[in-house]
Every structure is written in C-alpha cells, then in structure tokens.
Amino acid sequence: MSGLIDPFNRSIRYLRVSVTDRCNYRCFYCMPSQGMEWEERSEFLTFEEMTRIIRLFTELGVDKVRLTGGEPLVRRGLLELVKQLHTLPGLKDLSMSSNAHLLGEQAQALKDAGVSRINISLDSLDPETFRKITVNGDLQPVLEGIDAALTAGMQPVKINMVVMRGLNDGEIESMLDYAVERGADLRYIETMPIGEAGIAGTDYYMPAVEILSRLKEHLGEELIPAKGGKGAGPARYYQVSSGPVRVGVISALSRHFCDDCNRVRLTAKGDLVLCLGQEDRVSLRNGFSDEQIKAVILDAIAHKPRSHEFNDDNSKVSLRHMSSLGG
C-alpha cells in the first residue's frame, strides 16, 4: 500500500502534473476566450525540478503520473521530461492528456520515450461545432493526432467528450460510433463548475443518466458494467458488446467520484493541489531538502478533503481555471 494515506484511508498513488497553463485552444468551459491571466513562464518549474518532486512522490508510494496542461505539447522540450521520468524506478505508469492538435508529429517519439497511453479531448466531430467550442480550433489535426497515437501503439487511447446540451449532445451516438470504429475507449463528461468559465458552462449541463439512456437506445442493448468498471479513477465504465471498446461516464455533479479518489495535482509553478474542486494548495518549490519536501507532502495529504462540494457550497469551489489544473 502507498505510504500516502489521507484522513479517509484513501491510498494516494496518482499524481497529475501540469507542465504549463498555456493552451492552443480556448474551450469555453476550461478558460475564458479573452482576459486570461497567464502565469509567468519564469515561475514554471524546470524539468529537472519537476523530475525531482515527482521522484519524491514515487519514493512515497506514487506509481502513476499523468502529464497535463493547459496543453502539455505546447511546452518546448517536453520529450526530455518524458525521458527523465521514464527512468524513475518507482514509476510504473506514465501517461498524458492532450487536445491532440500537435500530437500527429510527436506520438511515436512520445511512445518510444515512455508515454504508454493518452487521453484526448474531442468534443465534436463537426468542424463548425468544434471551432465554436474551442474558439477557432481546427478539427483535422486532432483527428490525425488520434490516429497517430493509435498507430504508435499507445494503449489505451481514451477520447474525452464534455457533453453540452444544445451544443454537442446531438453527437453522443456518432462519437460512440467513431470510437468503436477505431478501437478507442470513450468517456462522456458532465460539465463542472470550476472557474468563471466552468460555472458558465453549467448552463449546458446534461446528467450522466441521460447520456447512458441515449447510448442504450442507440446500441439497442443494456450497458453492462465493464470488469473492474469502477477503479480509482473518476469514470464508471461499461462494455460495448460489439468489441473491446469501453464507454465511461464521469459524473462530477450527479454522482461524485470522490470516495475512492487516489490523486493529487502538481501545477507548473510547483503548487500541490489536493482537490480539483476546492481552493487548497501548498508550495513544493525548491529551497528545501528532499526530506523537508516529503514532510510537506505528507502534511498536505493529511489535510486532503473528503470531496469536492460542487452541489453544496459554491464559496468553496475552485476559482482557478481548468487550464491551470490539468483539466
């Protein structure tokens, strides 16, 4: 069992690392299209500093790391960080989240360097709807990036679709067909009230139970929970009988996923964030010995909250944009 145990006896084994808050898209539920206040690049951790902090987490029992952003592929030299992390003896799983716009040219190199699997954001298969959601994003490079990840042998490739009523919910069925055709897993995500942009995004809210009902009607069959269908991640998975593809739902509002949460987050500035939905953080910047940083980590985990409070007290909901949290 991990050496990181929170007050609710959850074993913390998963660290999400935001390597940058920058992104080449402006998905409105993630960040505002204008007036975004970026962090100073000079305040970002270097790759050596990130590797050191991640090493300390692995020595404390974390064995799973996901590189996120913003969009991680806009950070120059990211491949070097992947190579450094791949050598850490305690790290068993290194993955990435991406919008895939820049993935086509990098997928094979990332796989060869140690990224075993990838989650890709894809909210629409219609170029105009995609452009509206991402604010002038281009769909074609994303589709090419998904195919490149599959060709490179990343396994699994997971597609994440944030379902928004009246905007892209008409594509629930076609997105499933697209994923099944390619052998990619698919996760439908409820909008979350995080940051000013995210709170506005709840106007498009569609509950997971309605999404699942649509899928059952489309498939003409009941959705059977996949074996091991609810792990420590946020998604509840179901098997699609026509093949090996799994379909998942992430229900941050209608059915929270906190009871078995196994994760914490590290921002590009070196702040440890204990909960996606709450305003809590502690700095792990350089200036301390390894043992001192470990002590700070252990103390922070001892104060990890039981759950986010999206449905209860909005005064405690994080006002940070998803782009700075690896959303």
Per-residue model confidence as pLDDT tens digits over 4-29: 999 999 999 999 999 999 999 988 88
**Which tops the pLDDT comparison, 166 or 279?**
166
Tell me the C-alpha to C-alpha distance, in Å, between residue 6 and each of 62, 171, 302.
Answer: 13, 39, 5
pLDDT for res 202: 66
Asked which of 52-66, 143-157, 240-254 is least confident by mean pLDDT, the reply is 240-254
Confidence of residue 318 (pLDDT cuts 50, 70, 90): very low
Reported pTM: 0.90
53 torsion bin: left (phi>0), alpha (psi -120 to 50), beta (else): alpha
pLDDT for res 308: 60
Percent of the chain with pLDDT over 90: 67
pLDDT > 90? residue 136:
no
297: exposed, middle or buried (Cβ count in 10 Å: 0-12, 13-18, 19+) = buried
Q: What is the rounded distance in angstroms from the CA atom of residue 175 to the CA atom of residue 130?
A: 13
pLDDT > 60? residue 223:
yes
- Amino acid in position 184: A
Which candidate, 255, 243, 178, 244, places its Cα nearest to that of 211?
Answer: 255
- Amino acid in position 278: Q
Confidence of residue 30 (pLDDT cuts 50, 70, 90): confident
Which candidate, 154, 160, 66, places its Cα nearest to that of 117?
Answer: 154
Confidence of residue 315 (pLDDT cuts 50, 70, 90): very low
pLDDT for res 96: 98
Beta strands (DSSP E) in the chain are: 14-18, 64-68, 93-98, 117-121, 157-162, 185-189, 224-225, 236-239, 246-250, 263-266, 271-273, 281-283
Confidence of residue 260 (pLDDT cuts 50, 70, 90): confident
Confidence of residue 161 (pLDDT cuts 50, 70, 90): very high
**Which tops the pLDDT comparison, 256 or 93?**
93
Q: What is the rounded distance in angstroms from the CA atom of residue 7 to the CA atom of residue 9?
A: 6
pLDDT > 80? residue 229:
no
Which candidate, 194, 195, 188, 164, places its Cα nearest to that of 251?
Answer: 188
pLDDT for res 317: 46
